[in-house]
């Protein structure tokens, strides 16, 4: 048996697709035999499932050629490990024809932004003119992690679906760029002759330019890698006053219970939700004072089950900041 010391999800990573969320350990029942695996849902929109004894992929992974850098002297890994199962849960490419808008004016604005930047699909490296990153560097999956239901071999994971533009600029232009792009992140890079500018691709109405859903949640069969269900997560109720279920960026993860329920907040609308583990259907929602950018917890006390979520909001997500712990429970008989 060959045991690996490590597994690298994004070799030579200028994409910010490092593994930031919690690993999930599980023992699967495959053809009546136990298989111990470890899972990591990545910012690139993929789920990696590894054999816990050997470190080798349990579900198949292929080394796929990726675009080379146009920056003189920068050498990137020529391939990246791409899971063949499950499929990527959020898109990895966006173009002018995909632009979203609620009017002709903002749709046209988004078309121009997409047309102006390099877009060669997943792992398009940063460039001087600006490269489109799909998913954006916040994910795909982020630090919230995933939930596992052992009775179904089902992993439940939420992901964001947004586009970033990352541009490189000479260091001497950094101060000027900070004045022009005051709403974007501009960062020096130690030892490099250029800085990085990173910003969301948004319309003048502060809605994403790429098509919805902008946040999803999915259930994955770990025996086969099949997507059992997938649905938008979150509405525009608290972003734009519209109860449209187009999905929102998600920060915070789900929990699975033995009562066949998934509890999750994490959206930019102010709700904690209960979903069916089997189908993903929303069964209940509870109102929060702001977004619950955290993973819920559940416990029993005096024969009554509670579900608790921290509602704190986020200035980066343009949701009201607060500082409350909210507990829900079924009515007592």
Active site residues: 16
d(CA 323, CA 291): 11
Q: Which helix (H) or strand (E) holds 104?
A: helix 104-115
- Token pair, residue 20, equals 């930031």
In order, the DSSP letters of 18-81 are: ---SPPEEEEEEETTEEEEEEEEE-TTS-EEEEETTT-SBSS-EEEEE-PPP-STT----SEEE
Give the burial class of 295: count Cβ atoms within 10 A of its Cβ; 0-12 exposed, 13-18 middle, 19 or more buried.
buried
d(CA 124, CA 128): 12
Of 69, 68, 36, 40, which is closest to residue 53 (Cα–Cα)? 36
- Token pair, residue 230, equals 């997938």
Q: Which residue has the tokens 């060669």?
A: 120
Of 198, 182, 168, 170, which is closest to residue 16 (Cα–Cα)? 198
Q: Which residue has the tokens 């969301």?
A: 200
Indicate the SS3 state at residue 235. Answer: coil
């Amino acid at each position: 048996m060959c045991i690996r010391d490590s597994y690298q999800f994004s070799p030579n990573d200028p994409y910010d697709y490092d593994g930031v969320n919690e690993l999930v350990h599980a023992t699967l029942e495959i053809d009546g035999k136990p298989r111990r695996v470890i899972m990591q849902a990545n910012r690139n929109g993929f789920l990696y499932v590894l054999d816990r004894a050997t470190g080798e992929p349990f579900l198949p992974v292929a080394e796929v050629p990726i675009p080379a850098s146009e920056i003189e002297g920068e050498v990137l890994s020529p391939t990246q490990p791409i899971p063949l199962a499950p499929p990527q849960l959020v898109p990895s490419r966006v173009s002018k024809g995909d632009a979203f808008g609620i009017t002709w004016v903002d749709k046209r604005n988004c078309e121009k932004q997409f047309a102006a930047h390099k877009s060669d699909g997943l792992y398009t490296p940063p460039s001087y003119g600006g490269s489109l990153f799909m998913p954006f560097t916040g994910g795909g999956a982020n630090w919230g992690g995933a939930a596992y239901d052992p009775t179904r071999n089902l992993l439940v994971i939420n992901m964001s679906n947004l586009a970033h533009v990352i541009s490189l600029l000479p260091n001497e232009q950094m101060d000027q760029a900070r004045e022009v792009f005051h709403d974007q992140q501009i960062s020096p890079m130690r030892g490099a002759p250029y800085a990085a500018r990173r910003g969301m691709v948004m319309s003048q109405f502060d809605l994403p330019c790429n098509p919805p859903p902008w946040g999803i949640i999915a259930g994955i069969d770990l025996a086969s890698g099949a997507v059992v269900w997938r649905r938008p997560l979150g509405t525009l109720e608290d972003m734009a006053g519209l109860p449209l279920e187009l999905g929102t960026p998600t920060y915070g993860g789900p929990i699975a219970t033995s009562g066949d329920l998934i509890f999750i907040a994490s959206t930019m609308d102010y709700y904690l939700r209960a979903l069916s583990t089997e189908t993903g259907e929303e069964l209940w929602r509870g109102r929060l004072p702001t977004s619950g950018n955290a993973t819920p917890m559940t416990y029993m006390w005096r024969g009554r089950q509670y579900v608790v979520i921290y509602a704190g909001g986020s200035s980066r997500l343009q949701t009201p900041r607060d500082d409350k712990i909210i507990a829900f429970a079924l009515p007592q008989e």
